[in-house]
Amino acid sequence: MTSSQHLYTWFADSAARFGDRRALETGAEHLTYTELRALCEGIAAGLLADLGAVPRRAGLMTGRGVLAYASYLALQRLGSTVVPLSPGAPSERNRRIAETAGLDVVVGPPGPAEVAGVPWHVPAPGGGPVTALPKEPAGGPDDPAYLLFTSGSTGVPKGVPVSHRNVSAYLGHVTGAFGTGPDSRLSGTFDLTFDLSVFDMFTAWGSGAALVVPAARDLLTPVRWAAGRDLTHWFSVPSVVSLAHRMRELRPGRLPTLRWSLFCGEPLTRQQAEWWARAAPASTLANLYGPTELTISCTAYVLPADPGLWPLTGNDTVPIGELHPGLEHLVLDERGRPATTGELVVRGAQRFAGYLDRAENSGRFVAPDPADGAVGGAGGPDLTEGHWYRTGDRVTREDGRLVHLGRLDQQVKVNGYRVELGEVEAALRARPGVTDAVVVALSQPGGDTVLRAACSAVAADADALLAELRTRLPSYMVPRSVTVLDRLPLNANGKLDRTAVAGIVADLRP
């Protein structure tokens, strides 16, 4: 473990200690720590020679090859803020991100036209004398290590800068919490545009472990890929479990080498945990939770080894557990008063310092004294360490554990009754043959709200599912329709795409 406040040093310290250990595997390419450091320094030197100065913010057109990961490290080595871009994203989104971020350069293979006007650098192992590199990365602990863009409520991507101090506080906890070390082999399932990829990379490289990256095609059969790589640590969104179960990949004992299985990004259901536990009987399962603004994850719950001791929750999901060290939280009701059930607000070492556009801070923070309410203003507040970040997630405590109830906007009213969409989804997932479910609330022309559901299922009949729900739920909670799909749509990060589901079911007749 390192005390450094710079992200690159987590890798550099391991490279100095474990130079001949394997650091990265992508397809047929395998690099030791010494080889990866040499490649990253060559790329950094070439970029510095090309530009003549260290770029302040650098776009990285990502992929799953060695050069993508080495380029990420090269930019960290220089002290640049890394802004990942997806080659599969719409051209307009990449252009807008490049413009909003004020990129000095884009690093990647020969570039597409959507970021025309920004200098482009094609990485190569050489290109400049490594001796020309600065002795230390530029910048300090409060400078952004990376800048990610999440969906904004206005439809404009919202920039989230995460500082070296934020991510180092996080790594200081997780590199010890999940048993990673030089003999570990960690999955790298997340694209670099997703903040969970920072866990993949630097939990591995901060402890001398190997990062093992699947090709895009391997993610279609994730368990088959994992079983052939002798992984010790798995990390993915829970939707991967449903995909693997549907493809009948989760046979008992299929993943005997796994020691830890971590899930984050969306609720982990008890059923998904049971499926995975049978396939990885020697693995400890942990459920992580956290928005990008709180640096990757801010809570964790480790399931007991004995499934008979697993907690039962009201919505049939695994608890999200307790806050990581160095963080504080409150649960606030609609009036901003402390409550057992309500919105989770968090502050501490992992809380980011505010959005790239300060106007986005308005309404997203609560004053140090919650009685003063949410902080507004057209320019956003002058944030202090005492301000609480509003997650927008509803939680409750059950048997002393935090349980995620869904987004604030997932509590709806139907005919005057409050309905938690997660409760309806849990009832649908409990039906035989159903692997996953999504319920959406749609507004009708007359102003009424109706519920419609979609599920992935094997040999299930929609009418029969509706009939079952009518025996278990009040009438106002029963969806107007259930659409059975081979698979539920996923977004680019592998999460369930609720917007796509709403589009599928919106045009159904009453």
Residue 46 belongs to domain with CATH number: 3.40.50.980
Res 56 pLDDT > 60: yes
Residue 375 has a pLDDT of: 61
110 and 20 both lie in a single domain: yes
Q: What is the mean pLDDT of residues 208-221?
A: 94
* Domain final position from 406, 440, 472: 406
CA–CA dist 224, 241 (Å, integer): 12
Mean pLDDT of the chain: 89
427 and 386 both lie in a single domain: no
Q: Specify burial of residue 18 (Cβ count, 10 A radius: 0-12, 13-18, 19+).
A: buried
* Domain final position from 380, 406, 432: 406
What element of type H or E holds 489? none
Give the tens place of pLDDT for each residue, 394-433.
999 999 999 999 888 776 767 656 677 888 888 898 888 8
5 and 153 both lie in a single domain: yes
81 and 146 both lie in a single domain: yes
CA–CA dist 172, 324 (Å, integer): 10
Res 373 pLDDT > 80: no
Residue 351 has a pLDDT of: 98
21 and 143 both lie in a single domain: yes
Pairwise pLDDT comparison (151 vs 320), residue with the higher score: 320
Range of the domain at 367: 327-406
Res 498 pLDDT > 60: yes
CA distance from start to end of the chain: 59
7 and 154 both lie in a single domain: yes
135 and 19 both lie in a single domain: yes
User: Would you place residue 448 in the very low, low, confident or very high pLDDT band (cuts 50, 70, 90)?
Assistant: low
**Helix (H/G/I), strand (E/B), else coil: 375:** strand
CA–CA dist 236, 310 (Å, integer): 21
**CATH code, domain with 373:** 2.30.38.10
Q: Is residue 84 part of a domain?
A: yes
Q: CA 375 from chain center: how many Å? A: 26
pTM: 0.84
14 and 141 both lie in a single domain: yes
Q: Is residue 184 part of a domain?
A: no
CA–CA dist 71, 198 (Å, integer): 14
Q: Is residue 217 part of a domain?
A: no
pLDDT above 70 covers a percentage of the chain that reads: 92
Dihedral in degrees, nearest 10, Cα atoms 195, 402, 387, 166: -30
399 and 424 both lie in a single domain: no
DSSP-derived pairing of the beta strands 120-121 and 105-107: parallel
User: How many separate domains does the chain show?
Assistant: 3
CA–CA dist 188, 150 (Å, integer): 21
CA–CA dist 36, 367 (Å, integer): 45
Pairwise pLDDT comparison (129 vs 350), residue with the higher score: 350
Residue 148 backbone phi and psi in degrees, to 5: -110, 150
Res 367 pLDDT > 50: yes
367 and 434 both lie in a single domain: no
User: Would you place residue 508 in the very low, low, confident or very high pLDDT band (cuts 50, 70, 90)?
Assistant: low
Residue 93 has a pLDDT of: 76
